[in-house]
C-alpha cells in the first residue's frame, strides 16, 4: 500500500494505492473458497426404520443348583451332570446377558462346586455369583 503525494497547480494531492489491498483480498477469497471443499467430517450411519418389531426377551436369571447327591438343576429343571456344560453353552449362546449364579448344598465338598464353576466359566457365564442359604432366608 502506498500513498502518492503530488504537488501540482492545485496544491498537494494525495491518493491511496489500493491495488495491493485488492490483491490480498483476492488471495483470501480464493483461500476461503478452497478450504471448505477439502474438509471432510465423520461418516454417520443413520438407523433405518424396520417394519417388524424387535422381540425383547425378559432377562431371566440363570441359577445352577447342586444338590447334596450331586445332581444339578438349571432354574429348577433337572439336568444330568454330564450334559450341564452343553446345556449351559446352548443357553449362553442365545443371550447377551451372561450373568449366572451357583447355589450348592452346604454338605458338598468344594471340589464338586469348583467343577460346576469351571463348567459355567467354559460355557461363557461371566460373572458368576454364589448364592448361600443365608441370603435366601433374609429375602
The confidence score (pLDDT) of residue 26 equals 93
Q: Are residues 17 and 74 in the same domain?
A: no
* Model pTM score: 0.53
Q: Are residues 67 and 31 in the same domain?
A: no
In which band, very low, low, confident or very high, does the pLDDT at 97 lie, cut at 50, 70 and 90?
confident
Domain span at residue 14 reads 2-36
Over residues 105-125, the mean pLDDT reads 89
Q: What is the mean pLDDT of the chain?
A: 81
| Total structural domains within the chain | 2
The confidence score (pLDDT) of residue 70 equals 82
What pLDDT digit, counting tens, does each position of 71-95 carry? 899 988 889 888 888 999 988 888 8
Q: Are residues 69 and 112 in the same domain?
A: yes
Domain with residue 101: its CATH number is: 3.30.420.270
Q: Are residues 132 and 78 in the same domain?
A: yes
What pLDDT digit, counting tens, does each position of 24-39 carry? 999 999 988 887 766 6
In a domain, 43, yes or no: no
In a domain, 55, yes or no: no
How many CA atoms lie less than 13 Å away from 40 in the CB half-sphere? 3
In a domain, 57, yes or no: no
In which band, very low, low, confident or very high, does the pLDDT at 18 lie, cut at 50, 70 and 90?
confident
Q: Are residues 68 and 129 in the same domain?
A: yes
The confidence score (pLDDT) of residue 59 equals 56
- Give the CA radius of gyration of the chain: 39
Q: Are residues 129 and 66 in the same domain?
A: yes
Amino acid at each position: 500500500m502506498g500513498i502518492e503525494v503530488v504537488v501540482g497547480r492545485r496544491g498537494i494531492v494525495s491518493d491511496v494505492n489500493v491495488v495491493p489491498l485488492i490483491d490480498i483480498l483476492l488471495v483470501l477469497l480464493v483461500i476461503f473458497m478452497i478450504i471448505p471443499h477439502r474438509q471432510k467430517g465423520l461418516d454417520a450411519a443413520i438407523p433405518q426404520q424396520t417394519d417388524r418389531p424387535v422381540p425383547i426377551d425378559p432377562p431371566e436369571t440363570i441359577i445352577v443348583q447342586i444338590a447334596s447327591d450331586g445332581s444339578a438343576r438349571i432354574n429348577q429343571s433337572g439336568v444330568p451332570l454330564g450334559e450341564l456344560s452343553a446345556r449351559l453353552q446352548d443357553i449362553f449362546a442365545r443371550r447377551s446377558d451372561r450373568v449366572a449364579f451357583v447355589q450348592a448344598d452346604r454338605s458338598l465338598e468344594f471340589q464338586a462346586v469348583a467343577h460346576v464353576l469351571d463348567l459355567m466359566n467354559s460355557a461363557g457365564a461371566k460373572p458368576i455369583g454364589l448364592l448361600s442359604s443365608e441370603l435366601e432366608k433374609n429375602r
